[in-house]
Amino acid sequence: MKTGNIKAILFDSGRTLNIPRTGYWFITPEFFNIVHKDKLPENQEILENAMAEAVSFIDKIKYVKTEKEEYLMFKEFYKIFLIKAGYPEISDNIIDALAKDNVYNDDKFLFFDDVEPSLKLLNEKYKLGVVSDTWPSLERVFINKGLMKYFSVFIMSSIYGSCKSEKLLFKIALEKLNIKPSQAVFIDDSESNLIAAEKFGLIPILIDRYETEDLVSRFPIIKSLAELSKVLNL
């Protein structure tokens, strides 16, 4: 990889820099303190279908510009989920608590151990940015975790009503950085997002946080951000 012309590194967030603490994006840290697990159906298909319908609801909402809007969206999300799952004790208090835990609980995410040390090192040579399909509360989490200081741009899909696959977010990030696509690396755990980045002219790198066996990609593969320093000859 030719790295002499690189001026910026853009990161996806989920499964690149952080993961959900519980292992599931919509099962919040306090979820089973709010919802009684034994009152949910044991049938996994029912739960998966209920979650799919709730996800379908939020997927249709392009613009979510504030945490308040995000909170209201997730109130409806959890209402749909609980109704479709046949939960017997649905109340506004339960729905409200779930939505608040999702939006306002900074502990909903765990950051990989290599994130801050790598960002600190990379920030000495490159401009850094986040480009993520996500909602406004992510920015607050980064601020409160002390990580925002490393980023020159922080682009969230719901603010702009677009997603990475549509490439607009890359355009916005590069305009803010005042650089050309060929001067930026983009790191994501999704090949489809990397294909979009490549078509836009960015240099794509696939990150695999889960030690996937026999993983094959036409993109360079790293297992941690520490390996990125070697790829970029830093």
Q: Residue 134 has what DSSP assignment?
A: -
CA atoms within 13 A on the CB side of 232: 24
Q: Is the pLDDT of residue 3 over 90?
A: no
Q: What is the pLDDT of residue 234?
A: 61
Provide the token pair at 211: 């030690």
- Residue 121 pairs in a beta bridge with none
Q: Residue ranges per domain, the chain?
A: 8-17+112-231, 31-108
Predicted TM-score of the model (pTM): 0.94
Q: Residue 159 has what DSSP assignment?
A: H
Query: Which whole number is the average pLDDT over 22-32?
Result: 97
Contacts by residues 50-58 (CB-CB < 8 Å, ≥ 24 positions apart): 50/80, 50/81, 50/82, 50/83, 50/84, 50/85, 51/26, 51/81, 53/80, 53/81, 53/84, 54/26, 54/78, 54/80, 54/81, 54/84, 55/26
- Compute the distance between CA of residue 171 and CA of residue 152 in angstroms, rounded to an integer: 15
- CA 133 vs. chain centroid, Å, equals 6
Query: Which whole number is the average pLDDT over 9-34?
Result: 98
Phi, psi of 99, rounded to the nearest 5 degrees: -65, -40
Class of domain 8-17+112-231: alpha beta
Give 142's pLDDT tier (boundaries 50, 70, 90).
very high
Provide the token pair at 45: 């298909």
Any idea which residue has 């889960």 for tokens? 210
- Compute the distance between CA of residue 73 and CA of residue 105 in angstroms, rounded to an integer: 16
For residue 74, CA distances in Å to 55, 68, 83, 143, 169 come to 10, 10, 14, 22, 23
Q: Considering the chain, what is the average pLDDT of its residues? A: 95
pLDDT digits (tens, 9 = 90+) for 159-190: 999 999 999 999 999 999 999 999 999 999 99
Q: How many helices (H) and strands (E) does the chain have?
A: 10, 8
Q: What is the pLDDT of residue 1?
A: 56
